[in-house]
Every structure is written in structure tokens, then in C-alpha cells.
Amino acid sequence: METLAEIKGLTKSYGKTLAVNNMNLIIPRGKIIGLLGPNGSGKTTLIKMMNGLLTPTAGSISINGCAPGITTKARIAYLPERTYLQDGMRVCDIVDYFSDFYKDFNRNTAFTMLQSLNISFTARLKTLSKGTKEKVQLILVMSRNADLYILDEPIAGVDPAARDYILKTIISNYNENASILLSTHLISDIENVLDEVIFIRDGQVMAHLTVDQIREEYGRSVDSYFREVFAC
Amino acid sequence: MAWNLNADKPIYTQLVEIIQTQIISGRYKAGDRLPSVRELAAEASVNPNTMQKAFAELERNGLIVTQRTSGRTVTEDIELINQTQAHLAEECINNFFQTMKELGYSEKEILKLIEKATEEVE
């Protein structure tokens, strides 16, 4: 299977704390992959390093054969856990902004999705609810034709009906050479959509399996497997 | 509407069963063209690769045929569809008997209960 991203010996320490500890990982093309792990296991640190927002203490990341930088940013659509958009901007202005910024951005896709979710084009971000703001950001990210989509907690604040719509959109829109890496705690909501899951604990990859492997070998869903493995 | 899937069985085997049922019940008739993997994956709210795997399984047992020009169609082999139906019915009955036995009924008692239930329906 063709490799999209390769992570070798990746380490990030904050003083004495090792957030990511000698991690090795291969991300293939054409897969939807869940990044799962308890709070503080290193998911977001890993994601930030992949997006060039944090510098690794040791090890390497290679995406499409390049280290994180301008070239990889042009091919990765990243949804951070917190918003970076100006509160006073209108939805349509943000679409223009993304359209200027990213060559692979498709305005039609964005407007179609906004319309389907009944989001006003002229509303200012600050007038929208938390969940609607999240939807807008997710739409912006998913309207790009990227190689890798990295979504950090994409559906946490979104209502179940919109969640279904968003998942369907993800399924029918992403292209076969692209992969989606998403971190979430809402496993049961998304596990039917995933190919693979990566379990992370204490900054290391504990397991990298397919969803049906877990179901075949353990006779249980990824959600209940997670609850057992990480039982407190 | 997403398809109803259980948590404890592999997803692709459940997709295989659902599509088999759809063929037996005539939603897709013998010789009908099937929707694309992606369309069906979106309908079921499952990963397209998993749907692809289910299709491959159905192709292997002959219920679905891939034609180079017209995509995927349901087999025209009515006999095979009938066999699949009989097989699923058998499985269904076995499961039912097992559950009833767990509830403490003997085979005779189960048959009596079925007769009674059928009379009530009539």
C-alpha cells in the first residue's frame, strides 16, 4: 500500500515531560484513520508536529516525502482544536479568505455544504453558536482537495443530525488518494466510517489495527475495546 | 438513513447480510444494476473501503456480477438467489431455536407456541 506519511522516532518533550515518546507510524493513502487515546496521551502534540506548528525534539516526519513546511501545508487540510478565525468576519468573507489562501479550495463545495446546513453566508462568526462555528470550520477544511486531512476533535460540539451529514459528506467527497486522520473521543459515532484506528498511550503507538480486525479478534466494537484497554 | 449495524460483528459481514437481504426481498432484482460503492457507502454511513470489501465477498459467492461495461449487477441466477434465501432462513430459525432454548423451552413446546402464534395471526 502506498505510504502518505511516515513518522520515525518522533519525540517531543516539554521539560521533563515526554508528550510524544519515540513514536513510529505509517499513514497509508486512501484511508480514514481514527487517532484515539485518553486525554493527555499526545494526540494533539503529534498533530501539531505534523502541521509544523511544533518542532520535534527528535525524530522525523515525512509527508509526501517532505518534512513539514510550506509544501506540506499546501497539501494538508488541518482543523485545529481551537479556532483561529476572526470573530468579526462574515462566513462569505472567510470562504473568500480560504479561496485566496489555498489553491486546492473549492468555493462551490463550501457554499453547497453551508447551504445544506442552513448556515447564513452573511452572518458574522461571533453571532453563531459554538456548534455552528465548528461546522463552518469543518466545511472550510473539507472543501479543500488535499492529500491529507487532519481533524483534531472535529465533531465534538456538533448535533447528531449534522454529525451524520458531515460524516456522509466526508465519505462521498474525499478522493481515493487522500487520507483523513481524525482524533476524537466520540468513537461509537464514527467507527463505521473508519478503516483503521491508532491507539495512543503515553506518547506511543499502542496499537494500529483495522476496525474489522478488532471486531473479528475481540468480538466487540472499537468503542468498547477502547473502554476496556483504557479502563481507569 | 444509516443502516442498522451491530457493535460486536465485523462491519463488512453485516453489510454482506444486508445487501443479500435487499436482493432476496427484491429491492434489487435479478439482473438489476447496483449503485456505486461510494453511493451505497454514503447511504449506509460506512467507510467506502468496507463497502468495497462487502462487494468483493458478494462477488466471490456469485450474487453480484461485475460487468466491464455496465458496472455491478445482481446475478441473473434465480436458483442462487433462492439458495441464499433458504440459507438465511435456516440461520434465522437456528438462532430463534437457540434463544428459545436459552429461555428454557423444549423443541415440542416451541413448536406449540409457534402454532398458537400463527393461529392468532390468522
Mean pLDDT for A96-100 is: 95
Summarised one tens digit per residue, pLDDT across range A176-194 is 889 999 998 888 888 899 9
Judge if B92 and B116 occupy the same domain.
Answer: yes
Task: Select the more confidently predicted residue: A41 or A162.
Answer: A41
Residues of A in contact with B11 (CB under 8 A): 192, 211-212, 215
Instruction: Assess if residue B69 is contained within a domain.
Output: yes
How high does pLDDT run on average in chain B?
90
pLDDT band at A154 (very low <50, low <70, confident <90, very high): confident
Judge if B20 and B61 occupy the same domain.
Answer: yes
Task: Supply the DSSP string of A150-186, one letter for each residue.
Answer: EEES-STTS-HHHHHHHHHHHHHHS-TT-EEEEE-S-
Judge if B17 and B64 occupy the same domain.
Answer: yes
Asked if B7 and A223 come within 8 Å (Cβ–Cβ), the reply is yes
Instruction: Assess if residue B6 is contained within a domain.
Output: no
Mean pLDDT for B69-93 is: 90
Judge if B61 and B103 occupy the same domain.
Answer: no
Instruction: Assess if residue B58 is contained within a domain.
Output: yes
3-state DSSP assignment of residue A84 = coil
Residue B57, domain CATH: 1.10.10.10
E runs forming strands in A64-195: 76-79, 148-152, 179-183
pLDDT band at A69 (very low <50, low <70, confident <90, very high): very high
pLDDT band at A50 (very low <50, low <70, confident <90, very high): very high
The range of the structural domain enclosing residue B117 comes to: 79-121
Instruction: Assess if residue B99 is contained within a domain.
Output: yes
Judge if B23 and B70 occupy the same domain.
Answer: yes
Instruction: Assess if residue B45 is contained within a domain.
Output: yes
Per-residue b or e along A61-96, where b marks 16 or more CB atoms closer than 10 Å to that residue's CB: bebeeeebeeebbebbbbbbeeeebeeeeebbbbbe
User: What total of structural domains would you count in chain B?
Assistant: 2
Judge if B16 and B30 occupy the same domain.
Answer: yes
ipTM of this predicted complex? 0.79
- Can you say how many angstroms the Cα of residue B62 is from the centroid of all Cα atoms in its chain? 14
User: Which residue of chain B has the CA closest to A161?
Assistant: B1
Count contacts between A and B (CB, < 8 Å). 56
Structural contact between residues A185 and A38, judged by C-beta atoms closer than 8 angstroms: no
Closest CA to A33 of A204, A187, A228: A187
Q: A224 CA to chain B: closest CA distance, Å?
A: 9
- Name the one residue in this structure whose C-alpha cell is 434463544: B99
Judge if B24 and B69 occupy the same domain.
Answer: yes
In the listed set B39, B57, B76, which residue is the last one of a domain according to the structure?
B76
pLDDT band at A230 (very low <50, low <70, confident <90, very high): confident
Residues of A in contact with B10 (CB under 8 A): 212, 215-216
Which bin fits B105, alpha (ψ -120 to 50), beta or left (φ > 0)?
Answer: beta
pLDDT band at B1 (very low <50, low <70, confident <90, very high): low
Judge if B62 and B111 occupy the same domain.
Answer: no
Q: Rounded to 5 degrees, what are φ and ψ at A85?
A: -85, 150
Interface of B with A (CB under 8 A): 2, 5, 7-12, 38-39, 41-42, 44-50, 53
How high does pLDDT run on average in chain A?
92
Q: Which of B7, B44, B47 lies nearest to residue A32, judging by beta carbons?
A: B47
Decide if pLDDT at A158 tops 90: no
Q: A181: number of CA atoms within 13 Å, CB side?
A: 27
pLDDT of residue A162: 83
Mean pLDDT for A161-167 is: 83
Instruction: Assess if residue B4 is contained within a domain.
Output: no
For chain A, list the domains and their CATH numbers. 3-229 (3.40.50.300)
Judge if B33 and B72 occupy the same domain.
Answer: yes
